[in-house]
Amino acid sequence: MQRVQTIPFFDYPYHYASRGEEFMEAIRSALQRGAFIMQQDLFDFEKGLSDLLGIKHVIGVADGTMALIMSLRAAGVGAGDEVIVPSHTFVASAASIHHVGATPVLVECGADHLMDPASARAAVTAKTKAIMPVQLNGRVCDMDAIVAIADEFSLKIVEDSCQAVGARFRGHAAGSFGVAGTASFFPAKTLGCFGDGGAVFTNHDDVAETVRVLRDHGRAKSGKVEMWGYNSRLDNIQAAILNVKLKYYVEDIDKRRALARIYQDLLGDLDTLVLPPAPDSDARHFDIFQNYEIEADRRDELQAHLSKHGIGTIRQWGGHMVHQFEKLGFASTLPFTDRVSERYLLLPMHAGLKDEQVAVICKSIREFYTGA
């Protein structure tokens, strides 16, 4: 019989219980005011997150996928265009490209599990309209290299920054490097609500105005419909919940970074593992550790060992890269990404995780590899 997890991969009950009274008061206030759709809680959240990130416009939308779709439309991406995107990502990245009528062109990840700039550059064709770096696991890509490619070939940059809200590269926030960036507020995200939610980030006034129109059925401020739009507004009650979480967001990120240091200290000497870069190991990067994604020798056996000892882990996206979904019609050859898919594993990482729990996880991993 499989042992009940004593250290779950993600502690969903903690997500509410940590600040339950504040959450309930925020929800109660919104309900009592009848504030359900496009109300002050949403506008307050957009302003608060804008101020925290230093990005001019934050537009709350229904979810991260719709944030990508509307960002691509605002960037002018459509039928006949190609968009370069890494295969090591959630399918929503590529799906958003497909749903605006363009073609996702899948490329390799690098040793940091983020878009490999050399692979991206080699994929540029006459049809390439944009490049979509995915700021994965709470870390921003080498945006010096990505921006250089975009400049060289006159490409638009639309960031999938759904796993990196608050991460920075050279002091600039994820989501601020191109036409637009995106956020997901799925419950397990660093800034997660109690359902689906998302946002578009942009420093461009015209892009912000287009997204605001798109998210509300294509209706402009005049009330007239100016384009085919969507019903894709961030729910006001979810925005009220996010306003509570935003007050503690810096504190929560500090906790994740502290946990990452413990993982590094206790596992960094094992040559059977490849760990993500440690906090502050590269002055260009400020990582928020949405996930703690490792590569592991004998990955499947390690995962079974940890499960036996009550420790939850997952293979992100079910263990598949986008190009491995054969029924979507991809014929990409991405050997490095294939190799990562055979070795990658997410260890527990969230603000409710205790230092001593990380020590237990690391002890179990060391026992698996060393017997001691």
| Whether 155 and 173 share a structural domain | yes
The range of the structural domain enclosing residue 257 comes to 250-370
What kind and span of H or E run contains 201?
Answer: strand 198-202
Domain boundary residue among 247, 278, 297? Answer: 247
Residue reference for tokens 């039928």? 79
pLDDT, tens only, 134-149: 999 999 999 999 999 9
Cα separation, 296 vs 165, whole angstroms: 27
Which pTM value belongs to this model? 0.96
Strand partners, 198: 61, 184
Closest CA to 216 of 207, 225, 208: 225
- Do 259 and 318 reside in the same domain of the chain? yes
Question: How far is it, in rounded angstroms, from Cα 65 to Cα 88?
Answer: 16
| Percentage with pLDDT > 70 across the chain | 98
Residue with token string 């997952």: 314
Task: Look at residue 1 in the predicted model and tell me its pLDDT.
Answer: 41
Rounded distance between C-alpha atoms, residue 283 and residue 267, angstroms: 22
DSSP classification of residue 86:
E
The gap between the terminal CA atoms of the chain, to the nearest Å, is 25
Whether the CB-CB separation of 68 and 158 falls below 8 Å is answered with yes
- Same domain, yes or no, for 168 and 243? yes
Rounded to the nearest integer, the mean pLDDT of the chain is 97
Label residue 371 by pLDDT band (50, 70, 90): confident
CATH number at residue 264: 3.90.1150.10
156: in domain: yes
Considering the domain architecture, whether residues 221 and 331 belong to the same structural domain is answered as no
Choose one of 196, 227, 247: the last residue of a domain: 247
Asked if 261 and 231 sit in the same domain, the reply is no
